[in-house]
Amino acid sequence: MNRLLAALPAKDRERLYARGEVVDLVFTQVLANPGEAVRHVYFPAESFISLVTPMGGKATLEIALAGNEGMFGVSVALGAPESNVHALVQGAGSALRIGAVAFRRELAVNPSLTRNVNRYIHVLIGQLAQTAGCNRFHVVEQRLARWMLMTSDRAHSSTFHLTHEFLAFMLGVRRVGITKAARTLQAQKLIAYSRGEVSILDRAGLERASCSCYQTDLDSYARTLG
């Protein structure tokens, strides 16, 4: 169950479900592109969604991850005509999908929804700031560890599928950069992987190997949304 929705009074939540529909998101599905209108907002349950910013050429960078603690489509809530990021499904699973117009209409009459969405936007802004700094100051190995922890949290599982190639895309580095960092983590028996199947062996160790940004993020959620 999506936690933003879980925080709503039952009545409000039910009305919201009635306005939308539960859909299954599939891995790599694209939910939005920069410059295009956002048709639906999504509240992930088991699924989770990457927000990726294109930088011209082939450079890309993931700037945020939305799982059951959040949502995709804040631009709709903010009344913006178009998305400014790519949104792509990172982990398959269900999500509540609501049409942009219906969602805005609902926001207008549902203060508890507005309140929760606004708080999420605030947290999101904090994450973006944190991630910007993380990308600037921390080495690939730390960032990789952080990314795996974040993914694991949202996948609700300690194993998941992702290739070095894909990770490179997310972190904005070369594939070999990922290979090198991943090898080091594997040598420390923190993770294991083979042909895209990653599993976390030692969560506490991985947290130590990651930068403090991971913990900062958790705190931020707990403080504002918990």
Which of a copy of itself, DNA, none binds 9 (CB below 5-8 Å, type-dependent)?
none
Is residue 40 close enough to count as binding DNA by CB under 7 A?
A: no
Range 59-94 burial, b when 16+ CB lie within 10 A, else e:
ebbbbbbbbbbbbbbbbbbeeeeebebbbbbbbbbb
Strand partners of residue 193 = 198
Is residue 133 close enough to count as binding a copy of itself by CB under 8 A?
A: yes
Distance CA 42, CA 176 (A): 34
* Count of CB atoms situated within 10 Å of the CB of 21: 12
Is residue 55 close enough to count as binding DNA by CB under 7 A?
A: no
Stretch touching a copy of itself by CB under 8 A, among 11-19, 20-28, 120-128, 153-161 = 120-128
C-beta of 2 vs 220, nearer to a copy of itself: 220
Strand partners of residue 22 = 96
Is residue 78 close enough to count as binding DNA by CB under 7 A?
A: no
- Answer for which of 180, 212, 218, 221 binds DNA (CB under 7 A) is 180
Is residue 33 close enough to count as binding a copy of itself by CB under 8 A?
A: no
Which of DNA, a copy of itself, none binds 195 (CB below 5-8 Å, type-dependent)?
DNA
- Answer for which of 132, 196, 215, 219 binds DNA (CB under 7 A) is 196
Is residue 15 close enough to count as binding a copy of itself by CB under 8 A?
A: no
Is residue 224 close enough to count as binding a copy of itself by CB under 8 A?
A: yes
Main-chain dihedrals φ then ψ at residue 65, nearest 5 degrees: -130, 130
**Concatenated DSSP letters of 110-175:** -HHHHHHHHHHHHHHHHHHHHHHHHHHHS-HHHHHHHHHHHHHHHHTSSEEE--HHHHHHHHTS-H
Distance CA 130, CA 128 (A): 5
Strand partners of residue 51 = 64, 87
Binding residues vs DNA (CB under 7 A): 138-141, 163-165, 172-177, 179-183, 186, 193-196
Residues of this chain that bind a copy of itself (CB under 8 A): 51, 53, 55-56, 59, 61, 63, 74-75, 77-82, 84-85, 115, 118-119, 121-122, 124-126, 128-137, 172, 212, 220, 223-224
